[in-house]
Amino acid sequence: MARRMTLAVAQQGPVHLKDNRASVVKRLIAMLERAHSMGAEFVVFTELALTTFFPRYWMTDQSEIDAFFETSMPSNETEPLFQRARELAVGFYLGYAEKTEENGRTRRFNTSILVNRKGKIVGKYRKIHLPGHSDHLPKAPFQHLEKRYFEVGNLGFKVWRTMGANVGMCICNDRRWPETFRVLGLQAVEVVAVGYNTPTENIHHPEPAHLRMHHHLITLQANAYQNATWVLAAAKCGREDGFAMFGGSCIVAPTGEIVAQAQGEDDEVIVVDADLELGAYIKRGTFDFARHRRIEHYGLIAERTAAVAPTVDSDAD
């Protein structure tokens, strides 16, 4: 018996340093309304949706860095988005830089929230896999300083029952790690929302440009299939003050098939009338975790961080 939910991804074009939050929120509301006009009940916005991808810049002045962070959510600038979503009864995922005080300490995270169709924040996720570096690379064409500006997330990978579905979240680089999706899969996730800002050029390891999109898509497709879940991936893309990030926003079915994909690298909405039961036969068969997983053999996954090669040469006489 199908259990239908109309799902949307709102791909976001560039946000430049000069663009203020109010102008960005106007764009988000326009995409929310377009998704709603196409029947959407849940819309996935992108990572760090309210500002440019500021980890590309080397900054040392903390007040300059903090200008990119939100100290409350919703805030005056983002309340109009919550208000419009409440009016239209559309839930959403939104990524932003979070600055908060916890146990007397200022904490900064790359965060996403899950908002239900009544405009209530029902879930929060803080990015765990922070790529890039924390030191200045003066010879690089741009920086990737997420390890400098954010702490590793401290909320784990969680799944919430909301809007009639089991919904999980992750952010950008998290999508490359199978552990992310398996931990969500072990919580019976049915919809994974992921925003990403991915530079078109790999500054650390020159590689053919086509591989960037290839790796992006295979990770989403493999993880969707291996955990029998829908995956909604929203890019921030295009050239932000000249720095290129790729698009490739898409909606992947639990079968691993891409069922909708963005065509350009600007604001663009894609929508799918999803059957949340589509993954059920996979969860009852190939990936029936209860029947087939052998956790007694998986210990290294949680015990060992870096790979350790065999020390003995098996061919030695």
Rounded to a whole number of angstroms, the distance between the first and last alpha carbons of the chain is 61
Among 143, 173, 219, 221, binds ligand ING (CB under 6 A): 173
Among 197, 219, 221, 223, binds ligand ING (CB under 6 A): 197
Strand partners, 66: none
In whole angstroms, the minimum distance from the beta carbon of 145 to ligand ING comes to 11
| Catalytic one of 33, 98, 127, 146 | 127
Could you tell me the sign of the dihedral formed by the alpha carbons of 127, 131, 135, 141, in that order? negative
Distance between CA atoms of 147 and 133, rounded to whole angstroms? 6
Residue in the structure block whose two tokens are 């199978």:
178
Question: Which part of the chain contacts ligand ING (CB under 6 A), choosing from 14-22, 69-77, 168-176, 223-231?
Answer: 168-176
Among 51, 198, 223, 229, binds ligand ING (CB under 6 A): 198
In whole angstroms, the minimum distance from the beta carbon of 201 to ligand ING comes to 9
The tokens describing 69, both together, are 């962070």
| Catalytic one of 41, 47, 190, 265 | 47
In terms of CB distance, is 48 or 228 closer to ligand ING?
A: 48
In whole angstroms, the minimum distance from the beta carbon of 205 to ligand ING comes to 8
- How distant is the alpha carbon of residue 81 from its chain centre? 19
Q: Is 40 helix (H, G, I), strand (E, B) or coil?
A: coil
In terms of CB distance, is 131 or 178 closer to ligand ING?
A: 131
Residue 98: active-site member: no
Residue 139: active-site member: no
In whole angstroms, the minimum distance from the beta carbon of 95 to ligand ING comes to 10
Distance between CA atoms of 272 and 283, rounded to whole angstroms? 21
Strand duo 243-245 + 238-240: pairing: antiparallel
Distance set, CA 114 to CA 73, 88, 103, 139, 271 (Å): 12, 16, 24, 38, 18
| Catalytic one of 172, 236, 237, 268 | 172
Residue 172: active-site member: yes
Residue in the structure block whose two tokens are 């990572």:
47
In terms of CB distance, is 35 or 172 closer to ligand ING?
A: 172
- Which residues make up the interface to ligand ING (CB under 6 A)? 131, 172-173, 176, 196-198, 202
Could you list the active site residues?
A: 47, 127, 172
